[in-house]
Amino acid sequence: MDALLPFIVAGIVTGAVLGIAGTGLVLTYKTSGIFNIGHGAVAAAAAYCFYYLYVDHEWSWWAAFIVAVAVLGPLFGVLLGFMSRALAEQPPAMKIVATVGLVLLVQGVATAHYGYDPLNLPQYLPNGRKFFELGGVNITYAQVVVMVVSVVAVAALYVLFKFTRTGLAMRAVVNDPELVGLHATNAFRVQQLSWIIGSSFAALAGVLIAPFTGIEAVALTFLVVQAFGAAAVGAFSSIPLTYFGALLIGIAASLSTKYVVDFPVLNGLSSSLPFFFLLIALLVIPKRKLEVPARAEKPPVLPWKGPNNLRFTIGLVVIAVLAVVPAVVGSNLSYWTIGLTQAIMLLSLGLLVRTAGLVSLCQAAFAAIGAAAFAQFMSELHLPWLLALLLGGLVVVPVAALLALPAIRLSGLFLALATLGFGLMVEQLLYPRSFFFTQTGVGREMPRPSGFESDTSYYYVVLAFFVITAIAMMVIHQMRVGRTLQGLSGAPLAVRTLGLNVNMLRVIVFCIAGFFAGISGILYGSTVHFAIFGDSNYTAYYSLVLIATLMLMPFREPWYAVVAVIASVIPAYVDSDHTASYLNIIFGLSAVIIATQGGAKPMPMRARALIEKRFGSAQRRKTPKASVQEPHWHVAEEATSLEVKDLTIKYGGRVAVENITFAAPVGQITGLIGPNGAGKTTTFNATSGLLAPTTGSVWLHGTNVTGFGTSKRGRLGLGRTFQLMQLADSLTVAENVALGIESSLAGSSVRGQLIATPAERRATMAATEHAMELCGIADIRNVPGGALSTGQRRLVELARCLSGHFDILLLDEPSSGLDPAETEQFGITLQNVVRDRGCGILLVEHDMALVLGICKDIYVLDFGKMLFHGTPEQVRTSSLVQSAYLGSFDKDKEELAHEGVLG
């Protein structure tokens, strides 16, 4: 035990610093809903500031400390507070990219001034190097100061957060800033204060740890990133548990270093351990605790799609230009070859991020795995070059499939954290191994194909792979998998309820992206001849550079990758030792600005008009009109009804729905009405499988489907629309409507998810056209979903449901946004659908004239309880319903009669 004490003490010190950083991180996340991946960058900036003043300019330690922690920390907090405000309504990907941009910005500024070598900061605390003996362990006074400061700071934060009025406002502001404002509290100032405190804690952590570890921008940033593991132990919400997790991680990591000599297999474990904690926590924490409170999001900026003939022409021109590059660039050819390999990498990342809406921060790790596998296939098995390359890419596929497991239950921020943790863990734990890159300075030899060893001939090999990859990505976007991936990104809840197995789809897209990332890593390694531990293009930090670069590009696939080639060759023509640093500054600052704007600006309207005037407008895949007829479809004879029995749903201590029972038979329209907050949408979510009931059951055609997933219920014939509309803005109206039938056809089959058979394509086109005609939207079939009005979006949602073969439709306020004439026609459409198909409809609606006019049976909810059940006439004349939902009978009788609700 005595031999362990020195390691325990060292671990407590490291854990104390991580505890400061982690609790500050949790504070800002809890109050803003934005997880600052750049938290470590704030710590690094403060450490560099302290070094600049204390060492370079010989300030006293306390003066430098005050400026670095008490001035620079709050200044970062103010700036991050304003950034947080601008990001509040942006999609999760933009919030992630903005904080990643902060990492690049700080790293670029630091290395531009100090270079890439670590700085040694002497212990500055008074008597900090002196020590005393306790239990046979030498403990320095600096270590004691760090521990005391940590305990005092975290305890003060906990008291503030838990027991003060300001802390109460901090806890409330993330859930409902508008409600906080109604209580005479400025929500933005509360969040601003949280950012000031959180950033000051990060700055304090950076300055305290610097004398123990030295100062290097990326290393110090990722050292504080280890606090992510501590935050995960605290479920990203508990300050005490986060601090405890930090101490636990610090002690465990320190103890692991003791056994490295005896057990070399543990090498790298100490720095990887926090990310083990992070990944495990993300997999075991209940999903509901990882859900960020829902907020309205601004619609994404949609890249403009140019005319097909123009895109084809430009594509040929680009290939021709790239083909003549070897003849004109001379000795800089290797930069262009590397640029093409990174363009392939961006295409793989773009498939995940831009198409599927899944943020991955580990593409560099995929590239490294592919390179290491390729090198061994060549050196150990002596396989042909092309076969080794393809197998190297395939080796990444099962790894990507394994990493897709977090993607099944996580999304947005937490998926990004899981992939970042994976990338860092692979880099620190596996890269130095003998079976990977080895610890030698030479690394793994990466040969070029026989006959193409010269730089020029190998350039054309890489160019061929880039062209093949670009074509493959365009083909993928035209296939069913491409459309469903865009549906997953823009309308994730909708495609689940329509029958698509989104878990399998996420695994598929990770596998495809991993394969191409592995190919990119192999081609890059062969360009530079070796794959080496420490090569910047294989590091986790490079994954951050990639995501920022991708989000800066204003074009669609594959054009954003072509622009990346240009970015890669800049160092060849800008002769400076700090070119990479300046590029990081530019990319980092641009990432912050563009993310706060919601994405890169699309083509200006005037330029777009000029191009379309000359070349014509972009033509999406069109759905035939009169040439394709919808085959007669009718619900199966065994289809009977949807039944909900004794349903109760609780959120914590609040009962949202209590012991309700109702049925929606096929062949009729059933109404479910009630005032706002009555529990109607909650009931729909439980019925469709998006929400697990506390008690009760859901039956579809006599089968208990309570334990079935959402997509399986969809494939069994249960479809729905949403109160908050779910459309894929990047898809056209026709493509959105087609998702109704394509999602169920894709289902859980790998073949079905990837491609559609000719018969399925014909059925999809027919069902899509018929549904659009029914809803009167056939004339806008080629308009992107993001360009529609509210009323049009409602009709597209209904048409999407009607294109699928659903026995029961759950329609959640479908007439919202329609004018009176459209609402009347809407009611007729629903009646015709029920008559022709024999399906059943459960209608949640506030338009009482519509409900009373088309429903055969009506259920009334109030405060989560079933208030009334009867025919429209009984509902119309019920004083109980009028009092609870429609208002006082005596007061509103004349008005309701005028609206046609009362006879």
pLDDT tens digits along 128-187: 888 888 777 888 999 999 999 999 999 999 999 888 888 888 777 766 666 666 666 777
State the pLDDT confidence band at 901, using cuts at 50, 70 and 90. very low
Give the range among 22-26, 791-795, 859-863, 878-882 with minimum mean pLDDT.
878-882
227: Cβ contacts below 8 Å, ≥ 6 apart? 18, 19, 21, 22, 25, 39, 40, 205, 246, 274
State the pLDDT confidence band at 516, using cuts at 50, 70 and 90. very high
pLDDT tens digits along 256-276: 888 876 777 777 788 888 888
Please tell me the predicted confidence (pLDDT) of residue 622: 46
Domain 314-600: assigned CATH number = 1.10.3470
Contacts 24+ apart (CB under 8 A), 408-411: 408/503, 408/506, 408/507, 409/283, 409/287, 410/282, 410/287, 410/290, 411/92, 411/357, 411/358, 411/492
Asked whether the beta carbons of 375 and 521 are under 8 A apart, the reply is no
Q: Within a 10 A sphere around the Cβ of 899, how many other Cβ atoms?
A: 12
Closest of 474, 407, 489, 471 to residue 736, by C-alpha: 489
Question: For the chain, how far is it from start to end, CA to CA, in angstroms?
Answer: 87
Domains of the chain by residue range? 2-289, 314-600, 636-717+807-902, 729-805
Task: Show the tokens assigned to 464.
Answer: 């061929």
Mean pLDDT over each residue of the chain, to the nearest integer: 86
pLDDT at 330 over 70: yes
- Sheet with 703-704, edge to edge strand ranges: 654-665, 641-651, 695-700, 703-704
pLDDT at 307 over 80: no
Asked whether the beta carbons of 846 and 817 are under 8 A apart, the reply is no
pLDDT at 224 over 70: yes
Asked whether the beta carbons of 743 and 501 are under 8 A apart, the reply is no
Q: Which residue has the tokens 């699309």?
A: 602
- Look at residue 788 and give its three-state secondary structure: coil
Q: Which residue has the tokens 């982690």?
A: 22
pLDDT at 888 over 60: no
pTM of the model: 0.88
Q: Does domain 636-717+807-902 have CATH number 3.40.50.300?
A: yes
Type and span of the H or E element at 841: strand 840-844
What is the DSSP secondary-structure string of 209-229? HHHHH-B-HHHHHHHHHTHHH
Distance between CA 857 and CA 880 in Å, rounded? Answer: 17
Distance between CA 308 and CA 323 in Å, rounded? Answer: 22
pLDDT at 189 over 90: no
pLDDT tens digits along 61-84: 999 999 999 999 999 999 999 999
Domain 2-289: assigned CATH number = 1.10.3470
Q: Within a 10 A sphere around the Cβ of 117, how many other Cβ atoms?
A: 9
- Across 779-807, average pLDDT: 88
Q: What are phi and psi of 241, to 5 degrees?
A: -70, -35
Please tell me the predicted confidence (pLDDT) of residue 80: 94
pLDDT at 898 over 50: no
State the pLDDT confidence band at 370, using cuts at 50, 70 and 90. very high
Number of H helices, E strands in the chain: 38, 14
Same fold, 2-289 and 636-717+807-902: no
Query: Which residues partner with 730 through β-bridges?
Result: none
Distance between CA 122 and CA 213 in Å, rounded? Answer: 10
Asked whether the beta carbons of 857 and 874 are under 8 A apart, the reply is no
Please tell me the predicted confidence (pLDDT) of residue 24: 93
pLDDT at 660 over 90: yes
Higher pLDDT pick, 178 / 318: 318
pLDDT at 395 over 50: yes
Angle between helices 540-552 and 579-597 (to 10 degrees): 50
**Backbone φ/ψ region at 670: left (φ over 0), alpha (ψ -120 to 50), beta:** beta
Q: Which residues of 294-304 are buried (b: 16+ CB within 10 A; e: fewer)?
A: eeeeeebbebb
Please tell me the predicted confidence (pLDDT) of residue 894: 47
pLDDT tens digits along 858-875: 999 988 899 899 999 888
Closest of 722, 727, 847, 739 to residue 793, by C-alpha: 727
State the pLDDT confidence band at 225, using cuts at 50, 70 and 90. confident
Please tell me the predicted confidence (pLDDT) of residue 510: 94
